[in-house]
């Protein structure tokens, strides 16, 4: 059985809570539309919990492009 997802672990992977919200929401919508899961999840898990598990496992992340970083 997998351990519970802790908010602090997610913030270790994506340190900005606003970006974490956007990334996890986008991924949950993709999963809801039938995207392939990148990590093993329970069938009982909601789409957002599946997205959180992918982030916690390091399968989903983000990076700033030149335009977003202000360069």
Q: Domain for residue 68, yes or no?
A: no
- The domain total for the chain is 1
Q: Give the pLDDT confidence score for residue 2 in this predicted structure.
A: 65
CA torsion sign for 57, 9, 64, 68 is: positive
Q: Give the pLDDT confidence score for residue 69 in this predicted structure.
A: 54
Q: Domain for residue 66, yes or no?
A: no
pTM, rounded to two decimals: 0.81
pLDDT beneath 70: ranges in the chain: 1-2, 66-71
Q: Domain for residue 45, yes or no?
A: yes
Which range marks the domain in which residue 45 is found? 7-57
Distances (CA, A) of 1 to 4, 40, 42: 9, 11, 9
């Amino acid at each position: 059985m997998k351990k519970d997802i802790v908010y602090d672990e997610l913030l270790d992977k994506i340190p900005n809570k606003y970006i974490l919200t956007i990334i996890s929401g986008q991924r949950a919508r993709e999963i809801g539309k039938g995207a392939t899961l990148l990590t093993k999840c329970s069938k009982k898990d909601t789409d957002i919990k599946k997205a959180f598990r992918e982030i916690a496992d390091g399968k989903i992340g983000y990076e700033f492009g030149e335009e977003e970083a202000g360069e």
